[in-house]
């Protein structure tokens, strides 16, 4: 039986985040192109540990996913929050993303009093089904947002009222 556990992320989790973002085909779903951009994004992502706003999920004591609340310190914006999430490809399809996102929603609502959680996802990303299942709804589309090798992807904007 698989044991899942959630904990606040630690600085050393950045290496896992970089590893997971660099897995084959993952960058297709993120607006980064190379290791330098992934390292920059991971630095920003992990910087939110200072607010206790980053969660790591462990499967049998092994880190396998991470999610972050980009909380706003400006009081005018503090009611809403953007988040990213990633699960190690070896652990996908096992409910870990659901578990991680449910805990992130709980953290957003209880600790940070977030009223509106939102995300950006690119057309064709299989995670869209997870977001819809957890009550996120599409509120906008940025057509042809990404372009690679002559192919375009739309950026889909989704949100959930907490």
Per-residue pLDDT reduced to its tens digit, 38-72: 999 999 999 999 999 999 999 999 999 999 999 99
Quick one: average pLDDT of 3-14?
Answer: 96
Strand order across the beta sheet in which 62-68 lies: 4-8, 54-59, 62-68, 85-87
CATH of residue 146's domain is: 3.40.630.30
Band the pLDDT of 23: cuts 50, 70, 90: very high
β-partners of residue 158 are 119, 138
The two structure tokens encoding residue 146:
């990404």
**pLDDT at site 1:** 60
Give 36's Cβ-side CA count (13 Å radius). 0
For residue 80, the enclosing domain spans 4-161
CB 59 within 8 A of CB 78: no
Q: Is the pLDDT of residue 2 over 80?
A: no
pLDDT tens digits for range 64-101: 999 999 999 999 999 999 999 999 999 998 999 999 99
Q: Is the pLDDT of residue 25 over 90?
A: no
**pLDDT at site 148:** 84
Tally of structural domains, the chain: 1
């Amino acid at each position: 039986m698989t044991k899942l556990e959630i904990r606040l992320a630690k600085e050393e989790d950045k290496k896992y985040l970089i590893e997971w973002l660099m897995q084959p085909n993952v960058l297709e779903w993120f607006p980064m192109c190379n290791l330098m951009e992934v390292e920059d994004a991971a630095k920003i992502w992990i910087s939110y540990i200072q607010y206790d706003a980053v969660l790591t999920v462990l499967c049998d004591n092994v880190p396998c996913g991470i999610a972050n609340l980009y909380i706003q310190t400006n009081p005018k914006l503090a009611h809403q929050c953007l988040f990213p999430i990633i699960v190690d490809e070896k652990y996908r399809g096992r409910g870990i993303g659901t578990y991680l996102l449910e805990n992130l929603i709980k953290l957003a609502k209880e600790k940070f009093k977030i009223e509106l959680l939102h995300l950006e996802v690119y057309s064709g990303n299989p995670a869209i089904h997870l977001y819809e299942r957890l009550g996120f709804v599409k509120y906008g589309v940025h057509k042809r947002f990404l372009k690679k090798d002559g192919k375009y992807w739309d950026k889909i904007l989704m949100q959930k009222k907490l």
